[in-house]
């Protein structure tokens, strides 16, 4: 049976562009929508093979729709398209079992590649968005090298807490916190100069949310 595809976006021009392109490529488009609630209702009722959803839509976002699909054990594979270039959204997409994630500006260029990958059960997270975010999959595994206490301290440093404030919150002396900081700096292979660790936590804030 030919895979079925549904498209939802609140920009009619993008829907038309994607639909026309995919029909031309002989894909089976079974419906379109312009808001998240309409999209979710369609997915719950029809369970298409693939749903291409805009991240930002009225009523429900693409990520909220994906969350509901996961909760309802739908087999539909979600591809998100977005204008937003934020690491946080990218990581949320990973969390809710999204199969594809591409930027709108490259959607017409990458959508067929993305669909073909997803149909083979292989997630497609565009390299173009990783390049824009200056992000690699290795980023999320960095914290595996740290103890729970070290991770807590890193999170508090990212919130601009001083050694004294961190010590107060964790019931440790400022001197102990300083020792932890030194170990963390060694693990991250950072310069011991003042501010290097804080700068690292600011750059990698997405790891602590």
Q: What is the pLDDT of residues 49-88, one digit of tens each?
A: 999 999 889 999 998 999 999 899 999 999 999 887 666 6
- Compute the distance between CA of residue 138 and CA of residue 85 in angstroms, rounded to an integer: 19
- Neighbouring C-alpha atoms within 13 Å toward the C-beta of 183: 14
pLDDT tops 60 at residue 139: no
Q: How confident is the model at residue 132 (pLDDT cuts 50, 70, 90)?
A: low
Segment 11-26 mean pLDDT: 92
Q: Average model confidence (pLDDT) for the chain?
A: 86
pTM of the model: 0.66
Residue 205's contacts (CB-CB under 8 Å, 6 or more residues apart) are: 158
pLDDT tens by residue, 149-186:
888 899 899 899 999 999 999 989 999 999 999 988 88
Give the residues across from 8 on adjacent strands. 33, 53
DSSP at 134: T
Dihedral angle sign, alpha carbons of residues 130, 133, 138, 144: negative
User: Which conformational region is residue 206 in: left (phi greater than 0), alpha (psi within -120 to 50 degrees), or beta?
Assistant: alpha
| Mean pLDDT in residue range 91-115 | 85
Buried b (16+ CB within 10 A) or exposed e, 175-194: ebbeebbeebbeebeeeeee
**Which helix (DSSP H) or strand (DSSP E) does residue 21 occupy?**
helix 12-24
DSSP letter, residue 117: H
Longest dimension (CA), the chain: 67
Residue 35's pLDDT is 94
Q: Look at 118 and 131; give whichever has higher pLDDT.
A: 118
- Cα dihedral 103, 107, 111, 113 in deg (nearest 10): -70
């Amino acid at each position: 049976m030919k895979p079925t595809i549904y498209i939802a976006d609140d920009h009619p021009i993008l829907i038309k562009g994607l639909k026309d392109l995919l029909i031309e490529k002989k894909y089976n488009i079974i419906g379109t929508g312009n808001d998240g609630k309409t999209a979710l209702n369609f997915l719950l009722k029809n369970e298409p093979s693939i749903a291409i959803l805009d991240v930002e839509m009225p009523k429900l976002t693409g990520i909220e729709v994906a969350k509901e699909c996961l909760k309802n054990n739908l087999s539909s594979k979600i591809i998100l398209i977005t204008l937003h270039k934020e690491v946080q959204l990218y990581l949320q997409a990973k969390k809710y079992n999204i199969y594809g994630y591409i930027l709108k500006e490259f959607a017409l260029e990458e959508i067929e590649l993305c669909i073909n990958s997803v149909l083979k059960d292989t997630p497609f997270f565009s390299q173009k968005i990783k390049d824009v975010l200056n992000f690699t999959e290795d980023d999320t595994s960095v914290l595996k090298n740290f103890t729970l206490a070290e991770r807590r301290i890193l999170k508090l440093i990212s919130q601009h807490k001083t050694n004294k404030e961190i010590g107060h919150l964790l019931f440790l002396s400022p001197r102990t916190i300083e020792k932890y900081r030194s170990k963390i700096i060694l693990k991250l292979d950072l310069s011991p100069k003042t501010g290097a660790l804080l700068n690292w936590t600011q750059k990698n804030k997405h790891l602590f949310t």
